[in-house]
Amino acid sequence: MVYRLKEFEENLPAMLYEIYFFKVNLTQKDIYSIKNTLRRYSKKYLYASYLLVVSNTDSSHCAQREIKIKGKRGRPKTLVFGNKIPTHIHLCIIGNEKHSAYKFGKNLINAFNKRFKSNICMLIATDKGKWAKNFINYSLKQANSVSKNGIFNKILERRNAIKSEYF
């Protein structure tokens, strides 16, 4: 499950939006709540896709991924080494060629703020090109768990899909 995105030459189909969370040290209950909110709103906005990365590693400069193979059946464990910090998430959303994910993002922000009873997040527009690919690679390098939907399923199933200047 080591994601290294290299060969996706073309730009993403639409503008990539990042939802930036100010709250760190999230509990498992908070993360499940965010995942369930994403699933619920993605059924309403069928054109929108999301990539949710849960991490507790400092940054991509010190994060290193290693696959631990025991010789048994099943998927091998993926270990992330680096400086440990409180649990935080990276969340990005994208629309398709005809629709933007802006409305999807605004509704998600309202739902998250209502759930945590304070303003804990904001929507940041990235682009379709290298900055978007760099953010995706940056997030996936330090990922402990990944939840994805829509176009991110297609991109990440190849596991070597996006070429970026970051790596």
Give the residue ranges of DSSP H helices in 52-127. 102-116
Within a domain: residue 66?
Answer: yes
pLDDT at 65: 65
Give the mean pLDDT of 49-59.
Answer: 85
Q: How confident is the model at residue 167 (pLDDT cuts 50, 70, 90)?
A: very low
Within a domain: residue 4?
Answer: no
Within a domain: residue 83?
Answer: yes
Residue type, 90: H
**b/e string for 87-119 if b means 16 or more Cβ within 10 A?**
bbbbbbbbbeeeebbbebbeebbebbeeebeee
Q: Which CATH number do you get for residue 126?
A: 3.90.1170
- Residue span of the structural domain in which 131 resides: 16-157
Give the mean pLDDT of 125-142.
Answer: 82
Domain total of the chain: 1
